[in-house]
Structure 1
Amino acid sequence: MDITTLRIVATLVSFAAFLGILAWAWSRRRAGAFEDASRLPFEQD
């Protein structure tokens, strides 16, 4: 395994992680939690 193969694998793993985070952030199941979190700075104690 040379350095080029290692770089390709690292790139593919990083891209897969990016797609996973993107899917998690845009999932409909998380929309309610994100909506609640977006209102936190505007709530008063």
Structure 2
Amino acid sequence: MDQGIAGSIFTVVVFVSFVGVVWWAFNGRNKQRFDEAANLPFADEEKEESQKNKQES
């Protein structure tokens, strides 16, 4: 097997892997998990605000 064929096979394997990851990421089953993860920074802000309110009281 020469270098051209090996490079072509590697390119196809990487492309198929990329398509698999994109399909997994945009699949509907993971939407709820991703939405929860996207809102994590805002949950920290709510905790900080509630702690400040408790300290002020």
* Cα offsets for 1:2-38 (capped at 9, x unmatched): 0000000000000000000000000000000000000
Aligned to 2:12: 12
CA positional deviation for 1:42: 1.1
Give SS of 2:21's match.
helix
- Give me the TM-score of the superposition, normalised by structure 1: 0.94
Q: More relative contact order in 1 or in 2 (CA 8 Å, sep 6+)?
A: 1
Cα separation, 2, equivalents of 1:14 and 1:26: 18
Percent identity (aligned): 33
Q: Between Structure 1 and Structure 2, how many residues are aligned? A: 45
Structure 1 or 2: larger helix share? Answer: 2
Aligned-partner residue type, residue 40 of structure 2: L
Cα separation, 1, equivalents of 2:41 and 2:13: 35
Please identify runs of 4+ aligned residues in structure 1 that moved more than 3 A: none
- Give me the TM-score of the superposition, normalised by structure 2: 0.75
> Any stretches of 5+ residues in structure 1 without a counterpart?
none
